[in-house]
Each structure stands twice: as C-alpha cells, then as structure tokens.
Amino acid sequence: MTSATAPNVTVRVTAVLQKLTGGQKLVEARGATVREILDDLESRHPGFKEQMLGEDGKLQRFVNVYLNDEDVRYTGGIDTGVKEGDTLDILPALAGG
C-alpha cells in the first residue's frame, strides 16, 4: 500500500486507458516512483497495470510514459523517482494503417 505521505502526482491518460479510470482523463496517484504510481493506480483501477507492464515487470514496448515531458525509459524506467506536483503522461501507442 502506498503511504499517504508519498508525493501526489497528476496522471494523464489517453482515451484507450480512460475505460479503466471511469472515463477520467486526469487522475491523482501517490508514490515515490513511477512503479509505485502504477501500483496505486492498480489498487483503484484494477487492470491498469496489466496494460502497462509485461510479464518481466518492465514497460510494454508500445507504452510510452513521460514524467514532466521526459521519457522514463531514459531516466530510470519505472523506478524513476517522482516528486509532489509532477505530471505523468501515459500514452499507449496506436496502430495505424
């Protein structure tokens, strides 16, 4: 369970994920790392984390996560630290054709 003293982060999700957040585009989550944020989201929106992570516990290759406009793949992955007031954008890639 995430501590109530953990940083509060705004998470923006695309329409694809809004079905899991009850139609909300912006949700608040708590955690000291991106991983903890995903755990917090999963506790309130079951199935959320399954859309983000592979069996190896790493981000699916088609999911892009940005912390304050920085791709977390280049800042420590889902173990990237977050601080109060940060914004996390979660953007699953869309197939085109």
DSSP notation for 41-52: HHHHSTTHHHHH
Contact indicator for 10, 83 with CB cutoff of 8 Å? no
Number of domains in the chain: 1
Residue 3 within a domain:
no
d(CA 63, CA 38): 13
Per DSSP, 7 falls in state P
pLDDT in tens, 35-91: 999 999 999 999 999 888 989 988 988 899 999 999 999 999 999 999 999 999 999
Residue 2 within a domain:
no
Residue 1 within a domain:
no
Residue 19 within a domain:
yes
3-class secondary-structure state, position 90: strand
Q: What domain range is 34 assigned to?
A: 8-92
Task: Tell me the pTM.
Answer: 0.88
CATH number at residue 84: 3.10.20.30
Residue 20 within a domain:
yes
Residue 97 within a domain:
no
